[in-house]
Structure 1
Amino acid sequence: MKYSSLAKTLAAFLAFDVVALAAEQPNIVFIFTDDQGWGDVAAYGHPDVRTPNLDRLAKQGTLFTQFYVGSPVCSPSRASLLTGRFCAEIGIDYAIGGPAGQKYNHALWLDPELPNVYKTFAANGYRVGHYGKWHLGAMDKDGNMVAPAPVEYGAQESATAHSTGPKLKGLNNSNKSEIIANYGIDFIERNQSSPFFLNLWIMDPHSVLDPTQEQMDPYMDHTHPAVRSHLRSSQTVYYAIIENIDRAVGRVIQKLEECGLLENTIILFSSDNGPSPLWSSATGHAGSGLTGPFRGTKASLYEGGIRVPFIVSWPGHIPAGKVQDQSVVAAVDMYPSLVQMAGLEVELPEELDGEDRTSVLLGTPSKRSKPLMWEYRFGNWGREIQVSPTLAMLDGDWKLLMNPDRSRVELYNIREDITETENRARYETEIVGEMSARLMDWWDTQVPNPKNAPPWSGHSGWRMPRGN
């Protein structure tokens, strides 16, 4: 009898201790969409699309105007987010398994031995879940899926598409956001008693898009009346899918509220790169994404390809209703910043390119201590005005773009010239000299490109028309 009472007391104490720990350590929900542009949220100024849940998230938290991902295309951007490294340093420089990757014999998966944010959180008491897109592993040339599963990167629970490990069930081209949200809601319900790190990598608005008529009804004004009986415009289709994303975000937030977890949860929302250009043959209806005021789209190192929406909420910690337009934050910063915000006492890898931006996330503007670097040597799917050089560096307000052979040197003051149309390279020669030396030193130390690598794609470009 005494033993039974002691056991019950001990069990109650342990249960209380787990709940107390969860209350001290915040949960984290990171929602990462696919090809959603900086301007594809009403809170960022979109004139037509309805995103009430994302707008609410921005009012409850902070909207960042200068957030950069690690690449203008999918796989390297996601690899950079997980590892806190510039993707060129870890050998992932194109969409894994894509036609160019197969042609040039690129890596078939991200190295699971690299330190990453999932492993760090999983090793420190967090339950890590990953649902949705993965795209960090591909089939071999014989069609066999041999890449490591997400569990080998630290995700204790997962369901993905086109990867090793458990698969998402019930997906079609009208319900991808809904299905991924369902998995996330189930994960939250099952993991309320311990801190969790939930990652929902939503596959929309990447093509193929096929919303239902009910989903498209609010946007039928964007399809000409003469063709509504048999056609739908790309705007009608795309806006419906963006609202699907928003609806999924709202359902996840509602579940956190119902479980009493919202106050102790950091919610982050972003996208892997800019929107796909309308003139790409693979884009389809996904070509109606907006980059806001920026030049460039997906597959371009101009702002529109790498500058994406970023909204963060943590009630009582992150300022509510604030627009942060004074500080640069990047996807490579998420690893060290989330570790700090969660209070994990760990020693981070020395080779991280990201830096702890907790103070900025919590409301105090500051300058970066390290520049951001990019390499993207593959084709830009656009008109000449979107075709960037293949290297880029952002340091303070100055952004330098150039090719490795030092052709097409472009320098922009991003604070004053967000459209990147006033090339200052010939006027600011000292800045160009200093930045180009640092950029080339960085590029020379990167993982060598594979044999038969393509030539640089950025040799032809567009020049701002000049008057007489």
Structure 2
Amino acid sequence: MDEIKIENERMNTMNKIKFCIFLLCTFAACSHTHAAKPNVIVLLADDLGYADVGFQNYEASADVYTPNIDKLAQSGIIFKNGYVPVATCGPSRGSLLTGRNSARWGQEDNGNLPGNSGPPEREILVPRALPNDYVTAMFGKWHIGKRQGKLDLSPKGRGFDEEWAAAASYFSSPEWIASAYKNSPIPEEPYFDPAIGNLSADFIAQNKDKPFFLYAGFKAPHSPFETWESYLLRVVEARPQWKEVFERLKKRPDYQNKYSFEKITLETDKEILRLIYTAMILGMDDAVGHIVQTLEEHNLRENTLIFFLADNGGSLCGGPEHPNRPIDLGAINKPLRSGKGSIFDGGVRVPYVMSWPGVLPGNTVDEKTIVSSMDIFTTTVNLAGAQVPQDRIIDGVNLMPYLTGEKSGQPHSHLLFRRTDRDAYAIRAGDFKHTFDKRNKVNELYDIQNNIAEDEGLSKKHPEKFKYMKELYEKEAADFPDPIRFKTNEEMEAWLKENPLKPNPSGKGIE
């Protein structure tokens, strides 16, 4: 008990110190920016492995070359307990932009709407929750709806002022790439993610005197595996351990300057595939560098909060039962267990950075605070001077008071993850996580703070804690509808009437 008391006193003292520093930094930042409303930028990677950025500092992190992303991370806070609520692209993105777990509208995987995917029309995304003086843009991968008849779930249909949505290929068509370079020369080697960086830079320059929200949905490092030789050469130069693999790649009969892996089989060389994967990440890194440099050129960096994270864990597959994806797809999630689509931490724990010089501390690795992608919604809306919608439950929390010492403790009492179609669910509360996966015959309690590999079960050692966590999940999951895939718009409308929104509990998701 004495140790707990001492630790609590130490944490309270540290929080008071952090809050004083925050007040001083905020005063300085406001003086510098004339109390301008802050800008918020979300940089979202796609299927990025937990170890696959340099700042994570795992063994596999040495494979990748991410100088700009690492510099961004060093300027802010690296959260080692950063989560997404769903380990699949579409529902994860919908959750991020609404501040709500997608399971609240019955979505736990892609393809939930008729010929479409994403939050139903009644869900409010960031742009429509912001004050009217904010200008907003979405560039890159969207994956949460499209225009279909009278229903418009495209970025502009959801309230974004500007949009440039993703094409299927990293190389895209010349016309599509050209549309991203209206104010600058088209590069000789056009590539999807650098095009997002160019669009974002133009948007920042054009709106430098207005508050803005920018959502950049990068394609890397999701399949297909496509890159230019120049990116491979830069990776090999920075990471010489890849030299022998690169020489092997060049001997392939299908190798060329503009390289694509057309088919992945059980015989595919995994080292070559990972090398191409790292080159794709470097394209995203270039885009991040371009965006941050543009902010600095326009003296906006100290008035801009940047989030960098992934939509889910790296995509891992294996065996002949996966004919389209028979081997690991380049990513490394170790030391986490499993990957994309899973309720293990390899699916739902992601690299997560917040950077705001002069307001948030830099060179900080936060090993304790549990944050979620859903917090981006509430943090952004509150920073803009608005309140989150009160007619619905908002799962996201405004992180700023917790990061500045104004509030103590964890932002979240618990986080819930569910994949009903895979007979799997999990819930994390504090240091512990209860994981159930029928297919993999797992029904366990883990000290996830100290055993992130989820390989040391504690259910027998701590049966009361195990029972409590199971009951906590059952209690919280009871508030979620059963997952559903709508075949027609009429079916969806009927479901929405039968499942009305539940008002936001007092204080939940509010600063």
Q: TM-score range by the shorter chain?
A: 0.7 to 0.9
Query: For residue 201 of structure 2, what is the aligned residue in structure 1?
Result: 185
Using the alignment, how far apart are the partners of 1:308 and 1:174 within structure 2? Answer: 28
Query: For residue 131 of structure 1, what is the aligned residue in structure 2?
Result: 139
The DSSP-based 3-state class of the residue aligned with 2:481 is coil
1:169-220, Cα deviation, whole Å (9 max, x unpaired): 2289971111111111111121111100011011111001211111111335
The yes-or-no answer on 1:195 pairing with 2:238 is no
Give identity over the alignment, percent: 28
Relative distance call for 1:276 and 1:139 in structure 2 (3 A) is farther
The DSSP-based 3-state class of the residue aligned with 1:72 is coil
Query: For residue 229 of structure 1, what is the aligned residue in structure 2?
Result: 251
**Conservation of the 8 A alpha-carbon contact between 2:47 and 2:222:** yes
The yes-or-no answer on 1:43 pairing with 2:59 is no
The Cα shift of 1:275 comes to: 0.7
The Cα shift of 1:362 comes to: 3.8
Q: Which moved more, 1:287-296 or 1:395-404?
A: 395-404
Query: For residue 116 of structure 1, what is the aligned residue in structure 2?
Result: 125
1:432 to 458, 466, 475: 466
The Cα shift of 1:23 comes to: 4.7
Using the alignment, how far apart are the partners of 1:66 and 1:20 within structure 2? Answer: 32
Q: Which moved more, 1:199-208 or 1:427-436?
A: 427-436
Q: Which moved more, 1:352-361 or 1:65-74?
A: 352-361
Q: Which amino acid aligns with 1:374?
A: F
Using the alignment, how far apart are the partners of 2:162 and 2:190 within structure 1? Answer: 25
The Cα shift of 1:44 comes to: 0.6
The yes-or-no answer on 1:68 pairing with 2:107 is no
Using the alignment, how far apart are the partners of 1:284 and 1:253 within structure 2? Answer: 37
**Conservation of the 8 A alpha-carbon contact between 2:402 and 2:411:** no
Query: For residue 450 of structure 2, what is the aligned residue in structure 1?
Result: 416
**Conservation of the 8 A alpha-carbon contact between 2:93 and 2:311:** yes
Using the alignment, how far apart are the partners of 2:202 and 2:249 within structure 1? Answer: 41
Q: Which amino acid aligns with 1:62?
A: I
Query: For residue 414 of structure 2, what is the aligned residue in structure 1?
Result: 371
The yes-or-no answer on 1:255 pairing with 2:289 is no
**Conservation of the 8 A alpha-carbon contact between 1:29 and 1:198:** yes
Using the alignment, how far apart are the partners of 1:255 and 1:451 within structure 2? Answer: 42
**Conservation of the 8 A alpha-carbon contact between 2:117 and 2:143:** no
Count of equivalent residues: 412
The yes-or-no answer on 1:33 pairing with 2:45 is yes
Relative distance call for 1:287 and 1:62 in structure 2 (3 A) is same
Q: Which moved more, 1:195-204 or 1:224-233?
A: 224-233
The DSSP-based 3-state class of the residue aligned with 1:223 is helix
The yes-or-no answer on 1:58 pairing with 2:67 is no
Q: Which moved more, 1:262-271 or 1:356-365?
A: 356-365
Q: Which amino acid aligns with 2:473?
A: L
Using the alignment, how far apart are the partners of 1:448 and 1:278 within structure 2? Answer: 27
The yes-or-no answer on 1:88 pairing with 2:103 is yes
Query: For residue 166 of structure 2, what is the aligned residue in structure 1?
Result: 161
**Conservation of the 8 A alpha-carbon contact between 2:314 and 2:331:** yes
Relative distance call for 1:120 and 1:226 in structure 2 (3 A) is closer
Relative distance call for 1:365 and 1:250 in structure 2 (3 A) is farther
**Conservation of the 8 A alpha-carbon contact between 2:415 and 2:427:** yes
Relative distance call for 1:344 and 1:285 in structure 2 (3 A) is farther
Using the alignment, how far apart are the partners of 2:73 and 2:199 within structure 1? Answer: 24
The DSSP-based 3-state class of the residue aligned with 2:308 is strand
The Cα shift of 1:284 comes to: 8.2
The Cα shift of 1:432 comes to: 2.1
The yes-or-no answer on 1:271 pairing with 2:310 is yes
1:331 to 368, 373, 381: 373
**Conservation of the 8 A alpha-carbon contact between 2:371 and 2:412:** no
Q: Which has the higher contact order (CA 8 A, sep 6+)?
A: 2
Using the alignment, how far apart are the partners of 1:39 and 1:113 within structure 2? Answer: 37
Gapped runs of 5+ residues in structure 1? 1-18, 380-388, 454-468
Q: Which moved more, 1:130-139 or 1:241-250?
A: 130-139
The DSSP-based 3-state class of the residue aligned with 1:337 is helix
The DSSP-based 3-state class of the residue aligned with 1:276 is coil
Using the alignment, how far apart are the partners of 2:484 and 2:385 within structure 1? Answer: 40
The Cα shift of 1:84 comes to: 1.1
Relative distance call for 1:448 and 1:138 in structure 2 (3 A) is farther
Using the alignment, how far apart are the partners of 2:71 and 2:388 within structure 1? Answer: 34
**Conservation of the 8 A alpha-carbon contact between 1:222 and 1:236:** no
Query: For residue 9 of structure 2, what is the aligned residue in structure 1?
Result: none
1:249-306, Cα deviation, whole Å (9 max, x unpaired): 0001111111121121111111100111153554589812121411111111111111
Using the alignment, how far apart are the partners of 1:208 and 1:267 within structure 2? Answer: 27
Q: Which amino acid aligns with 1:410?
A: E
**Conservation of the 8 A alpha-carbon contact between 1:276 and 1:298:** yes
**Conservation of the 8 A alpha-carbon contact between 2:138 and 2:217:** yes
Q: CA RMSD in A?
A: 3.2
1:56-91, Cα deviation, whole Å (9 max, x unpaired): 111211111110011111011011101111111122
Q: Which amino acid aligns with 2:464?
A: E
Query: For residue 338 of structure 2, what is the aligned residue in structure 1?
Result: 296
**Conservation of the 8 A alpha-carbon contact between 1:73 and 1:94:** yes
**Conservation of the 8 A alpha-carbon contact between 1:399 and 1:412:** yes
Using the alignment, how far apart are the partners of 2:314 and 2:430 within structure 1? Answer: 25
Q: Which amino acid aligns with 1:339?
A: V
Using the alignment, how far apart are the partners of 1:372 and 1:360 within structure 2? Answer: 17
Query: For residue 460 of structure 1, what is the aligned residue in structure 2?
Result: none
**Conservation of the 8 A alpha-carbon contact between 2:427 and 2:434:** yes
The DSSP-based 3-state class of the residue aligned with 2:309 is strand
Relative distance call for 1:54 and 1:373 in structure 2 (3 A) is same
Using the alignment, how far apart are the partners of 1:420 and 1:327 within structure 2? Answer: 19
Relative distance call for 1:133 and 1:421 in structure 2 (3 A) is same
Using the alignment, how far apart are the partners of 2:43 and 2:365 within structure 1? Answer: 19
Gapped runs of 5+ residues in structure 2? 1-30, 181-188, 237-241, 256-268, 488-511
Q: Which amino acid aligns with 1:299?
A: G
Using the alignment, how far apart are the partners of 1:343 and 1:79 within structure 2? Answer: 23
The DSSP-based 3-state class of the residue aligned with 2:351 is strand
Using the alignment, how far apart are the partners of 1:286 and 1:170 within structure 2? Answer: 30
Using the alignment, how far apart are the partners of 2:480 and 2:158 within structure 1? Answer: 23
Q: Which amino acid aligns with 1:116?
A: L
